[in-house]
Amino acid sequence: MLRFATTRLLAARPTVPSVLPRMAAMNKQPTLRFTSIRHMATQRAEDGAFVGGYSTQGSIRDASQAASMPSTQFKTKKPTTPGKRWLKRVPRDHLYKGKAVRALTVAKRSKGGRNNKGRITVRHRGGGHKRRIRILDWKRMDIGNQTVMRLEHDPGRTAWIALLRHDETGKLSYIVAPQGLKPGDTVTSYRGLAADADEIITHTVAIEPGNCMPLRMVPVGTIIHNIGLRRNGPAIMARAAGTYAQLIQTGETGYAQVRLMSGEVRRVPVEACATIGAVSNPDHQHEMLGKAGRSRWLGIRPTVRGVAMNAVDHPHGGGRGKSKGNKHPRSPWGVLAKGGKTRKTPNQFVVKPRPRR
């Protein structure tokens, strides 16, 4: 009986030649260049392949979940001091070691969280190291190829930035570096072609990380970032480290639908800009500063718990022992801090709100 069962199992196993055609079909390489916008959208929907290393089909979390997980390549220190024991930072060996282009920077004048009347409107701000903020090109209106000179660190943001040099004019500019961008790569902006419809149809469009174009030129399902909210406007959404969005619906006119990382689906004009790929430095959220002093270097002041205050300073203060007096969690001004409504009118551009806990 054992020999007969083994023979039936071997007979039911598919032969190797029958599996090879399916493996060859799975390894089919995508086409990344198209000469027509309409042909581009239809072909992307048929082949269901990948664009620039990012999945264009299925859920956005399945496409970029692995890239957002903590990396094993964090840089740590030997615990020679208490501050180094828990220090964990993303390696920056690939970044430029020199200074930024002086003409593309501006001094950051800290206000300590105060408004024009001198009153604190944002708590826990103040101090910190001197910084010069890099001026980034959020509109990408220059037509033509631009070469990536180097990757740099911007003290005013969490993502890496890339210094671009225009191949024809030699103009220098900074952009947010997408994942996978390296020095020597070429990026292109197609925003200047939006005014001439005939030129768009005959022009070759490359769906590569770092290329900027209107949403109506992007294939459905593509991972994007630096998304604008109006025509000829700057990039507004998905600009922080490791962020991305997915285009789920577009057309020649009207509004496109974009799914954000939070799960919210938002309507965006098809003439608004977007950059292909996800933002660099996805492991930023898993960094550990190691000590309180490093937060002070960043301009972050200490935060005191409400239950540790007196009754005149916070609704949770006062009393005997560690108790907030059977009160629901609320802010120092008595506003409910968990579950309370904050918007009076809903956003008309939100198709599907993000899931709430």
39 bridge partner residues: none
What is the pLDDT confidence band of residue 203, given thresholds at 50, 70 and 90?
Answer: low
Segment 212-241 mean pLDDT:
95
H or E element at residue 16: helix 16-26
DSSP 319: S
Judge contact between 120 and 112, C-beta under 8 A.
Answer: yes
The pLDDT of residue 60 is 43
Distance CA(175)–CA(105), nearest Å, equals: 13
Instruction: Note the pLDDT of residue 108.
Output: 93
Structural domains in the chain, sorted by start:
102-276 (2.30.30.30)
Averaged pLDDT, 140-168: 95
- In percent, the amount of the chain with pLDDT more than 70 equals 77
Task: Output 95 or 53, whichever has higher pLDDT.
Answer: 95
Average pLDDT, stretch 43-54?
A: 38
**What average pLDDT score do residues 140-164 get?**
95
Q: What is the model's pTM?
A: 0.76
Taking 50 as the threshold, does the pLDDT of residue 15 lie above it?
no
Flag the least confident range among 252-256, 313-317, 334-338. 334-338
Bridging pattern class, strands 235-237 and 227-228: antiparallel
**pLDDT, position 202:** 53
* pLDDT average, residue stretch 43-70: 41
pLDDT of residue 35: 38
**3-state DSSP assignment of residue 88:** strand
At 322-334, the pLDDT tens digits run 888 888 999 999 9
Mean pLDDT of 98-108: 96
What 3-state class would DSSP assign to 251? coil
Per-residue pLDDT at 94 exceeds 60: yes
Pairing of strands 212-214, 273-276: antiparallel
Q: Look at residue 149 and tell me whether its pLDDT is greater than 50.
A: yes
Give the H or E element holding residue 161: strand 160-166
Under the banding of pLDDT at 50, 70 and 90, the label for residue 296 is very high
Contact 249, 256 (CB under 8 A): yes
Q: With the CA atoms of 85, 87, 90 and 94 taken in that order, what torsion angle do they form, in degrees rounded to the nearest 10?
A: -80
Whether the predicted pLDDT of 353 surpasses 80: yes
C-alpha closest to that of 207 among 32, 43, 31, 48: 32
pLDDT average, residue stretch 111-126: 95
Could you tell me the two tokens for 60? Answer: 């956005």
- Predicted pLDDT of residue 195: 54
The two three-digit tokens of residue 99, written as one number:
């200074």
What is the rounded distance in angstroms from the CA atom of residue 246 to the CA atom of residue 254? Answer: 18
The residue that leads in pLDDT, 203 or 26, is 203
The whole-number average pLDDT for the span 241-257 is 95
Q: Which of 20-34, 154-168, 333-347 has the highest mean pLDDT?
A: 154-168
pLDDT averaged over every residue in the chain: 82
**Is residue 176 predicted with pLDDT exceeding 60?**
yes
The C-alpha atoms of residue 219 and residue 162 are separated, in whole angstroms, by 25
Say if residue 32's pLDDT is above 70: no
Interval 171-187 mean pLDDT? 95
At 196 the pLDDT is: 52
Q: Which of 159, 188, 170, 175 has its CA nearest to residue 33? A: 188
Give residue 36's pLDDT.
35
**pLDDT value, residue 336:** 87
Confidence of residue 33 (pLDDT cuts 50, 70, 90): very low
Q: Are the CB atoms for 290 and 307 separated by under 8 Å? A: no
H or E stretch covering 269: strand 265-269
Q: Residue 321: which pLDDT band, with cuts at 50, 70 and 90? A: confident
Cα–Cα separations (whole angstroms), residue 288 to 89, 219, 229, 293, 304: 6, 38, 33, 12, 20
Higher pLDDT among residues 314 and 198, named by residue = 314
Q: What is the pLDDT of residue 26?
A: 46
The answer to whether the beta carbons of residues 337 and 330 sit under 8 Å apart is yes
- Percent of the chain surpassing pLDDT 90: 67
